[in-house]
Chains A and B, each alone.
Chain A
């Protein structure tokens, strides 16, 4: 090659464990892509003007000390490329290639499918940054603002991770897809994000906590199935992403903990369920937000019966949740499974080949995980001596995708008419009044150690820092 490129110190700029410094292909791709990414971050990333933020930066993949905490100007955040450690003996765990060594290169036969999976996963990562762009302006505390930005930069890094795969393994077509990931924008009329759920703005912090609890948890399950992939670089990338994803769900879990705690406190203080007037979020409203975010996230798992999922499984490119811990033949060619169905106005199940039931299988895993949050929040209510309980609605409630789409099912799982649904919908899903109330509570609290009145403070700070630590510095 004769072209003289500006020499960039890649290892310093982009923390990585993929030997970026000696990979010409990757360097060239990233050289072009990185400025576009920074432009995108500037245009579509957090809108609050900050000087620096106390952020975690991934710098390694080891068990100890994989991350580094420091105040960093956000546009200087070092988005890195990390894959979990390489296991030279790893074998494909399922499908028709079961037992063969995992692939270190994209098998041409599955190029299109793998590229599609990576693009869809990659598309959600920047989407959530875009959806949450204006939230920082109404943060209930500096601690929360910092957590929001932490989630944002890490979603940005997850985008990098997917872009790395596209650049490193998919040639020219991969580079073009990587560009498209920045060209689509959440909520854009011309070029929206691929999945509908990622085109809705996150309008308030309750929605943000719900999103990180429920929707990021969908991400966890998707990553979990890709972690099983026979395409080793994808598997290793997703395994490392899951580490960061855990923090995002922590933000959601503890965020809702704190809202519920505060509501319980207000209920006790005022001896009333009606805490809206006292600047809190009533339990009924929290329940409606749960109903909404949970069901929208259920839709993300796709149709109950899916030939795509079956093909991905057979090909060995996307497995089941915790595939290797399962005790079956990992081929599923002779098995059957029951999937949800609506027949003659009744909620029932129908038997299909197990391979076709993989979406439902994953959704079931997700649903039982979600129940953990409800247990937590109900324990808080119990601790505060409150009898009311929060719950997850029926799987068929408010669904737009799959077997229940088009049916009207109450949170209790009763099939009702469209008219009945219309009459009662406002009891189950956030109304304009509810949303206006929640939005009305969103006032920024920027003084270190202080917190908004609708949410309780966290029990611990970040990285053992106290609550009154200056997590964010402003210009």
Chain B
């Protein structure tokens, strides 16, 4: 919903064609739309959107509606609960407004946004919703939605990401998915999918619910499984507390843990010329070539001697512990490139560093990830960051060269790519003596970092080819030719061919339709079984993005643009 405003829809805001550079840096002292309070084992998270706090001009965030800026803060908040608050075992998501939970994504914002902005916005919010579910499942921080007012559209979708939904029974608050009847689009942030797949609402009821703009109030919502419980105003506070305590009781989080802080990232952005730019972090480098429309992302591996000798040391290092530092930087880079560099269509993924160093860190993570909350968090954070790569609409090419450290977890970066090219041997005219590139399989490649489809990247790669998969063992090392033989890389040219092959590949790729590539890559990356996640990123998102570009939604007479003008949408009635 459903932001009810009187003024007619503004013309396309100036920001629509040239979206602003988006920064994902924030911290609780800078939040404008959220606040949280930790009380014992429970964190109370309040959505309290500042109406004048939109990320770009042109709309007001009325009725607790949100835009990308609101969601950036939510993402930051989830990360801080994970890393800085080990004591938190349950999280209550509620509204800081009187009698209104959240009206969903801001319609005026959607109506004025370019297609790519809408798509990026939805992708990021989807990832954050999935991240909330991941917290419940894997971090011992169970989320409860305490809907103290109406939750409509994206507001209800936010609640759907929580494990439990409570709705106040005040004879007016409701849950609703009004996108179809009011806006001519879908509840695309997982709404349609979670109603059926997670809450197991029958499909005919789901159909009614998703076409009934006012939604359902408490008792009916409970009856139809749209919420878990409805509670009178009088009982509200006590019940929510009780449920939060119950959720906390099942957590495996330590009671005496000490959180770590997440300081701002050290990031240096330079524009060397009109066509060359770089983004540098201590552990991740990105070089953008606008002419070639490529970004070369190099993850710098750890040094073997930098491996912390004890768990205490890892906690003391905190955000400086290499796996966490690197993952934060990579995560930030992916988000920035995705949002701000739309024309950089191909990402070349490299690593640089010591294989032995990477393996030493692997061993530390493997040793502690099931027993230590922080190490566990880092593992799942890297898992989610890899998933971000999986759903990134860019061509991903891994370049595996001498001096690289694609071992175990870092090899997952290469396996997430659409293709992998590995130099066989060394570069002959290289100044220094080099060892040929190697890749190394470890336990990390066999289940530590599942994809959204529930499979490992190796299982996805060799889908239906169990024999090849079975021949792969943790601990194996491969040179270029061996990796090609084993099917782990696309090609392993030697130094005579390597540069030409890559150059031609990249130029050829750059000449193909970006839309067709996005569709093709997404199809190839997610083989096999559907999960709620793949259904959200595949089916729901693809339909939503199709609807977004159709005149019935985004045309001048479409529902999205006409909303709030007092005029009815004028639909093209042909079913397609």
Contacts and interface: CB of A to CB of B under 8 A. Distances in A.
A1 B510 contact: no
B507 A111 contact: yes
Given A171-B497, A172-B493, A172-B497, A1 B506 contact: no
Nearest to A168: B500
Given A108-B510, A111-B508, A1 B425 contact: yes
A171 B500 contact: yes
B505 interface: yes
A355 interface: no
Contact of B508 (A1, A112, A169): A112
A25 B504 contact: no
A109 interface: yes
Given A1-B425, A1-B428, A108 B505 contact: yes
A369 interface: no
Interface in A1-44: 1-2, 24-25, 28
A179 interface: no
Contacts of B510: 108-109
14 contacts: A24-B428, A24-B496, A25-B496, A25-B500, A105-B503, A107-B507, A108-B505, A108-B508, A108-B509, A112-B508, A169-B500, A171-B500, A171-B504, A172-B493
B512 to A, nearest CB: 9
A172 B497 CA distance: 7
Given A1-B425, A172-B491, 5 more contacts: A2-B425, A24-B496, A109-B510, A109-B511, A169-B500
Interface in A163-206: 169-172
Nearest to B491: A172
A172 B506 contact: no
Nearest to B292: A108
10 nearest A-B residue pairs (beta carbon): A108-B507, A109-B511, A108-B508, A108-B504, A25-B496, A171-B500, A1-B428, A171-B501, A171-B497, A111-B504
Contacts of B425: 1-2
Interface of A: 1-2, 24-25, 28, 105-109, 111-112, 169-172
Contacts of A109: 507-508, 510-511
A98 B501 CA distance: 27
Nearest to A175: B497
Contacts of A169: 500
Q: Give the one of A1, A28, A108 with max B CB within 10 A.
A: A108
A23 B379 CA distance: 48
A309 to B, nearest CB: 19
Interface in B504-526: 504-511
A112 B503 CA distance: 14
A216 to B, nearest CB: 32
Contacts of B435: none
Contacts of A25: 496-497, 500
Nearest to B426: A1
A109 B497 CA distance: 18
A105 B428 CA distance: 21
Given A1-B425, A1-B428, A171-B504, A108 B511 contact: yes
- Contact size range, B: 10 to 19
Nearest to B511: A109
Nearest to A27: B496
Contacts of A171: 493, 497, 500-501, 504
B365 to A, nearest CB: 37
Contacts of A2: 425
A174 to B, nearest CB: 9
Nearest to A112: B508
Nearest to B498: A171
B495 interface: yes
B174 to A, nearest CB: 55
Q: Give the one of A1, A2, A106, A169 with max B CB within 10 A.
A: A1
A207 to B, nearest CB: 41
B141 to A, nearest CB: 48
Contacts of B496: 24-25, 28
Interface in B479-501: 491, 493-497, 500-501
A28 B507 CA distance: 25
Contacts of B511: 108-109
B503 A1 contact: no
Contacts of A28: 496
Contacts of B501: 171-172
A265 B506 CA distance: 66
A107 B511 CA distance: 10
A2 B494 CA distance: 12
Contacts of A24: 428, 496
Contacts of B509: 108
A109 B501 CA distance: 13
Nearest to B500: A171
A24 B501 CA distance: 16
B27 to A, nearest CB: 44
Contacts of A1: 425, 428, 494-495
A313 B417 CA distance: 35
A108 B506 contact: yes
Q: Give the one of B425, B503, B504, B507 with max A CB within 10 A.
A: B504
A24 B506 CA distance: 23
Q: Give the one of B428, B493, B496, B508 with max A CB within 10 A.
A: B496
Interface in B420-469: 425, 428
B397 to A, nearest CB: 13
Contacts of B503: 105, 108
A107 B495 CA distance: 20
Contacts of A107: 507
Contacts of B505: 108
A84 B264 CA distance: 61
B166 to A, nearest CB: 57
Nearest to B496: A25
B244 to A, nearest CB: 57
Nearest to A110: B511
Q: Give the one of A111, A112, A171 with max B CB within 10 A.
A: A171
A383 B495 CA distance: 66
Q: Give the one of B493, B495, B505, B511 with max A CB within 10 A.
A: B511
Contacts of A172: 491, 493, 497, 501
A291 to B, nearest CB: 44
